[in-house]
């Protein structure tokens, strides 16, 4: 009797209506995110891929030209290769420096210091502000010929440098700004340091290991999953850098800071060659894919996991 009652309740119109209501209520909850994803991510992604095979310009008319944009970028456009070279140099100078500095600060904050929570907050703030136009403008004033940095160097009788106007120093100025945005990587390293068992350090001390040796044999191997994640995230972000080069140096001097993002912007919004700019963005996607693929492929040789597993 009880079983038949349960079956009747489950098959009743009220129960079916409740199930339908729950289903559409769930869809209603995710609708804002779904609409945003479709309108601001998926549609632009598909559109840019289509336009990369056209000559879309200021007129708004798109004529299919096949692989012409890609071929021109790889064979005719010398600025393309220069911007890619400058960007690769920027990536391989700024990312390692940022991660090394983030790890250093994380290890300092991991020690027992007074007001440690306040220091963590202070050190994280630059990563929030670092990509803004306002900070880039401030950076330009700091590193100009009569800026604060040269004034500080003059106090120590050090010759002032033309940080922004010199082709040899301009990219280094952008590197410093990138390193200054170390907060997010620092937080991840700090969380990883908290997870390392203290028993490993105690065993190392009993074996007479120095702090330097314990860093390379205990700390660094245990942090390799976080190092791996940080490398991927920072590499992708560095390849897409635009604001600092646009605001601080304008791509100069002598195109020494002409990052790939600058090339994309100029082709799309100065020359209005939207089709060509779209093809450049997809070439950048392929470049990032190749570098991240290499890192993923080699990760099994240097990334250590507690359970002995591999990514």
Is residue 130 within 8 A of residue 181, CB to CB? The reply is: yes
Same structural domain for residues 104 and 26? no
Helix (H, G, I), strand (E, B) or coil at 228: helix
Q: Determine, yes or no, domain membership for 64.
A: no
Q: Determine, yes or no, domain membership for 309.
A: no
pLDDT at 1 over 50: no
Same structural domain for residues 24 and 128? no
Q: What is the pLDDT of residues 89-130, one digit of tens each?
A: 999 999 999 999 999 999 988 887 777 777 777 777 777 766
The rounded percent of the chain whose pLDDT value lies above 90 is 68
Is residue 293 within 8 A of residue 311, CB to CB? The reply is: no
Same structural domain for residues 122 and 241? yes
Same structural domain for residues 151 and 276? yes
Same structural domain for residues 208 and 252? yes
Q: Which domain holds residue 98?
A: 69-301
Confidence of residue 10 (pLDDT cuts 50, 70, 90): low
Confidence of residue 16 (pLDDT cuts 50, 70, 90): low
Question: What is the structure's pLDDT at 34?
Answer: 86
Residues 6+ apart with CB under 8 A from 194: 110
What's 97's domain CATH number? 1.10.3720.10
Same structural domain for residues 25 and 153? no
Q: Determine, yes or no, domain membership for 232.
A: yes
Q: What is the pLDDT of residues 175-192, one digit of tens each?
A: 999 999 898 899 999 999
Question: What is the structure's pLDDT at 7?
Answer: 47
Confidence of residue 33 (pLDDT cuts 50, 70, 90): confident
Count the domains in the chain.
2
Same structural domain for residues 100 and 235? yes
Category of 302 on φ-ψ map: left (φ > 0), alpha (ψ -120 to 50) or beta: alpha
Same structural domain for residues 114 and 7? no
pLDDT at 262 over 60: yes
Confidence of residue 291 (pLDDT cuts 50, 70, 90): very high
Same structural domain for residues 283 and 168? yes
Q: Over the range 184-205, which residues count as b (16 or more CB within 10 Å of their CB) and which as e?
A: bbbbbbbebbeeeeeeeeeebe
pTM of the model: 0.87
Mean pLDDT, the chain, as a whole number?
A: 88
Same structural domain for residues 19 and 107? no
């Amino acid at each position: 009797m009880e079983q038949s009652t349960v079956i009747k309740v489950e098959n009743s119109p009220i129960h079916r209506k409740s199930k339908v209501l729950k289903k559409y209520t769930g869809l209603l909850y995710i609708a804002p995110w779904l609409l945003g994803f479709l309108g601001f991510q998926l549609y632009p992604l598909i559109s840019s891929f289509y336009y990369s095979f056209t000559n879309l310009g200021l007129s708004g008319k798109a004529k299919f030209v096949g692989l012409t944009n890609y071929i021109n970028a790889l064979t005719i456009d010398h600025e393309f290769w220069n911007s890619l070279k400058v960007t690769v140099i920027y990536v391989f100078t700024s990312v390692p420096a940022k991660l090394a500095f983030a790890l250093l600060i994380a290890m300092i904050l991991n020690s027992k210091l007074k007001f440690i929570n306040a220091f963590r907050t202070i050190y994280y703030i630059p990563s929030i502000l670092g990509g803004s136009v306002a900070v880039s403008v401030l950076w330009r004033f700091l590193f100009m010929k009569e800026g604060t940095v040269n004034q500080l160097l003059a106090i120590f009788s050090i010759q002032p440098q033309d940080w922004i106007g010199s082709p040899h120093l301009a990219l280094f100025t952008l590197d410093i700004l990138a390193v200054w945005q170390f907060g997010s990587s620092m937080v991840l390293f700090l969380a990883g340091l908290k997870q390392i068992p203290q028993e490993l350090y105690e065993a190392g001390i009993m074996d007479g290991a120095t702090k330097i040796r314990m860093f390379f044999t205990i700390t660094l191997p245990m942090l390799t999953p976080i190092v791996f994640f940080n490398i991927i995230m920072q590499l992708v972000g560095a390849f897409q850098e635009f604001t600092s080069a646009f605001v601080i140096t304008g791509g100069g001097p002598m195109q020494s800071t002409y990052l790939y993002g600058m090339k994309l912007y100029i082709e799309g919004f100065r020359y209005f060659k939207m089709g060509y700019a779209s093809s450049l963005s997809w070439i950048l996607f392929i470049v990032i894919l190749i570098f991240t693929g290499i890192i993923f492929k080699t990760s099994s040789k240097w990334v250590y996991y507690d359970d002995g597993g591999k990514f």
